[in-house]
A and B are shown apart, each in its own frame.
Chain A
Amino acid sequence: MVEVTAQYFAAFREQARCDREVLATRSDTAAALFAEVSGRHGFRDSAARCKVAINGEMARWDARLESGDVVLFFPPVAGG
C-alpha cells in the first residue's frame, strides 16, 4: 500500500471533478494507478495515447510508485 497524490489535467480534471486527490492504493506502477483512476472516474483514453509525469518529470508507465509521489496524468495532447 502506498499513499500518492494523483493530479488531473484538462479533460481528466473535468471528468474527475477535481484537479488532485490523495489515494491510498495497492497500484504499484503508474500504469496500474492510471487503470484504477480511469475505472473510478470513467476516463476512456488508453494509456498509450496519454502521458504520465511523476514528481515533475515525464515518466514511463512502468515506473514504480512510492509513498509521497505526485503522479500527473495527462490526457491526449493537442497543441498547435
Chain B
Amino acid sequence: MSFEISANAIEPEALKGRLAAAGAGACVCFEGWVRNHADGEPVTALEYETHAALAAKEGEKVLAEAKQRFAVERVDCVHRIGHLQVGECAVWVGVTAAHRGAAFDACRYVIDEIKHRLPIWKKEHYASGATGWVNCATKVAG
C-alpha cells in the first residue's frame, strides 16, 4: 500500500508491476488524464498544487480505509503535481484483489475520496489565456 505525490510523469505500466500478488485474480487501474476542455471551454494545460505533507497523510488514510472496507491485496495511488499538458496522466490508482468486485469497488472508492479530501488544487489554463482554479469562486481573465 503506498500513496505518492510526484512531480515526475506517471508511468502506469511500471506502477502496475508493483501490484503483483499471488493471491490476486483481478487488477483494476484508473488513470485520470488531462483533457482539452472543461465546461465547454478549450483547456490547454493544467497546474496542480498541493500541501505535500497533509496530502500524503490523508492519501495514506484513504488507502488504509480501502484496505479495511474491501477484500483487496494491494492498493496504490500516485498523484501528479506541477504543470501538465493535455493527455498527461494526472492521477493513477491501482488495485489487486482475489475477485473483480472488490477491485472495482476499492478503485472507485480511492479515486472518489482522493478528489474530495486531499489538499490538492487544480488550475485550468484556457485557450483564451484566462485561468481558473477548479471549484473556487474566482476565475482570472487572461
Contact = CB atoms under 8 A, between A and B. Distances in A.
Given A44-B138, A49-B135, A51-B119, A79 B114 contact: yes
Interface string B111-138: 1001111111111000000000111111
A66 interface: no
Interface residues of A, number: 21
Contact of A10 (B55, B114, B133): B133
Interface residues of B, number: 29
B91 interface: yes
Interface of A: 9-11, 14-15, 43-45, 49, 51, 53, 56, 58, 72, 74-80
A3 to B, nearest CB: 23
Interface in B79-114: 79, 90-91, 111, 114
